[in-house]
Structure 1
Amino acid sequence: MIPAEILEQFGASQKVLKKGEILFQETEEARFYYQIITGEVKMLNWNSEGKEFIQGIFTDGQSFGEPALFGRFPYPASVIASRQTLLYKLSFDQLMELLKYNFEIHLSFTEILSRRLQYKAMIMKEISNHDAEHQITTLMKYLKRQAAVKGPFEVKLTRQNIADMTGLRVETVIRTIKAMVQQHKLIMKDRKVYLP
């Protein structure tokens, strides 16, 4: 998102997260901009029974947590490293200074935040109105569009990730994907799932 040299010019530091390490928790004050160099984090909430609901998965080059930072409200979800992750960390004041001198980056944020709002609206509609197959298909098609892939798209989410992102039970996801493969709506190759 923001080029490394610009982040460093404005004082960004690097931080390493071990797999399973929590970067910040839901309700914590948003004070920093984070951008992944390498690795992966998931933004999630836990319900009262301890079930995860994944708000998003972020990987190399992506940033996360900006709505709370720009809106000056507490984080609405927690962030945990899915694997070892190296990221940039920049304070809110430094980020504002950076954006003041880099209008094109400011515009990019507007576009990214708009896409995230679109995703949230889509997921809310799917969870409340449609069956499991439709929810899973919509999520996969969204990811394929985001990746700008023309041919078959490898869905790099685990069945548990899909369950956590749609609010479905993992058993339902497994059963639905199996049925979709049998109906040739999905392709299974070497235990990997592809959306044609």
Structure 2
Amino acid sequence: MIIHEDLLFAHGAKIGKYNAADYIFEEGTAAKYYFQIKSGTVKLNTFLEDGKEFVHGLPFDGHCIGESYLFTGHHYAVNAIAITSCEIIMISKTKFLQILLRQPELMLEINKYTAERLHFRYLISSFLVISDPIVKLEKLFDHIKDYFGFEEAYSFLVPYTRQQIATLTGLRVETVIRYIKKMHEQKLVRLESTKIYY
């Protein structure tokens, strides 16, 4: 959780409820709220001219989304779409900025979170030039395992479906399935039913 929920609610935050496939915000619209995910998973994406989709991330419980746009005059360059049922804490931009002015130490938390997300986006961008699917998968798994503070082999349950992994790495889902099996054979991951441990 980036900012404690009680603090947000004390300053007038509300809960927005979204079903899978609902837009939380759309590319090209102005940022009017700070959004923090109470529960659920959101997809940050861009649709390209040819109809293809580029996924920037899959934030979930405790993460905030679109926060950097509250500090610029730019409109969103991405969409935020619920991929599960979601409860999102929402507080107006004005009230959110007032909280930060009263408690500037929270700005460090926002900056740290935004920097982590930029790092993840740079990592995702590097997948465009990596041809080996196993290297792509290892880079993704290494990052999220490190982010959550796991070190031991097979100690980390990968929190993404094979479809979500495909979306993040730019691979086809069939390729992900095939190479996850190869990684299992090479003892790089452990499989238990549909679960992947890294």
TM-score class, shorter: over 0.9
Which has the larger strand fraction? 1
2: CA distance, partners of 1:140 / 1:18 = 28
1:170 aligned partner: 173
Q: Compute the RMSD of aligned alpha carbons.
A: 1.5
2: CA distance, partners of 1:51 / 1:187 = 32
1: CA distance, partners of 2:131 / 2:110 = 31
Deviation of 1:174 after TM superposition, in Å, equals 1.5
Q: Counterpart of 2:37 in 1: which secondary structure?
A: strand
Relative to the length of structure 2, the TM-score reads 0.92
Q: Counterpart of 1:153 in 2: which secondary structure?
A: coil
Relative to the length of structure 1, the TM-score reads 0.93
1: CA distance, partners of 2:180 / 2:51 = 25
1:193 aligned partner: 196
Unaligned runs of 5+ in 1: none
Deviation of 1:49 after TM superposition, in Å, equals 4.2
Find out whether 1:77 has 2:41 as its counterpart: no
1: CA distance, partners of 2:116 / 2:131 = 22
1:120 aligned partner: 121
Find out whether 1:100 has 2:113 as its counterpart: no
CA contact (8 A) 1:68 1:76 kept: no
> What amino acid is the match of 2:81?
I
2: CA distance, partners of 1:120 / 1:182 = 29
- What whole-Å deviation, never above 9, does each CA across 1:64-98 have from its counterpart, x for those lacking one? 11122222211121111111111111111111100
Which of 154, 158, 163 is the equivalent residue of 1:155? 158
Q: Aligned pair in 2 of structure 1 residues 176, 37: CA closer, same or farther (>3 Å)?
A: same
> What amino acid is the match of 2:103?
N
Q: Counterpart of 2:83 in 1: which secondary structure?
A: strand
Deviation of 1:127 after TM superposition, in Å, equals 2.0
Deviation of 1:130 after TM superposition, in Å, equals 4.3
- What whole-Å deviation, never above 9, does each CA across 1:20-40 have from its counterpart, x for those lacking one? 211111121111110111222
CA contact (8 A) 1:127 1:135 kept: no
2: CA distance, partners of 1:128 / 1:117 = 18
1:62 aligned partner: 63
2:28 aligned partner: 27
2: CA distance, partners of 1:51 / 1:159 = 18
2: CA distance, partners of 1:94 / 1:111 = 21
2: CA distance, partners of 1:19 / 1:126 = 27
Deviation of 1:140 after TM superposition, in Å, equals 0.8
Q: Counterpart of 1:157 in 2: which secondary structure?
A: coil
Find out whether 1:180 has 2:183 as its counterpart: yes
CA contact (8 A) 1:68 1:74 kept: yes
CA contact (8 A) 1:132 1:168 kept: yes
> What amino acid is the match of 2:156?
F
> What amino acid is the match of 2:70?
L
- Segments of 4+ moved more than 4 angstroms: none
